[in-house]
Amino acid sequence: MPVSRTFVMVKPDGVRRGLVGAIVGRLEAKGLCLRAMKLVSVSSAMAARHYEEHRGKPYYPELVQFITAGPALAMVWEGREAVAVVRALMGATDPAKAAPGTIRGDWALSITENLVHGSDGEESARREMEIYFSPAELSAGPGSTASA
């Protein structure tokens, strides 16, 4: 499996609770490489694009309200099987069922306010990165000749 990239977000609950450093630290310690990062106020339009596959679900209004309610940290991480590796580090969607040792398993309990988002595949990773980052932001980083 070649090196891949995934889109990761520390959701507003993680920023509010001061868990940015702890969450980023786990991804770094695993050996993943940080390629892009910024604090964003997610607009209703961005939330609708990000969570389009969930439109119509009973939890959708609460999810959009939550994700737009405060600053979130948008990131791109790279590494061997990055999509699957980040999903494993996050733990199950429902933190009550997430294994201890995972981000959600250790630090969350609410299904909606479950601290992190990670893309569920290569295609969604590409799609989600483009919601939050410009092409220039996505090409910057280690190995790049681009200047800020």
Binding residues vs Mg ion (CB under 5 A): 120
Give the interface size with ligand CDP as a residue count (CB under 6 A): 9
Q: Which residues pair with 95 in a beta bridge?
A: none
Is-catalytic flag, 117? yes
Residue (of 5, 7, 18, 77) closest to 42 by Cα position: 7
Closer by beta carbon to ligand CDP, 106 or else 120: 120
**Contact string (CB under 6 A) for ligand CDP, positions 34-73, x = contact:** --------------------x----x---x----------
**What is the number of the residue whose Cβ is closest to Mg ion?**
120
- DSSP letter (8 states) at residue 96: T
Cα–Cα distance measured from residue 27 to residue 87, given in angstroms and rounded to the nearest whole number: 11
- Which three-class secondary structure state does DSSP give residue 117? strand
Q: Which two tokens stand for residue 136?
A: 């220039």
Binding region for ligand CDP (CB under 6 A) out of 17-25, 39-47, 113-121, 131-139: 113-121
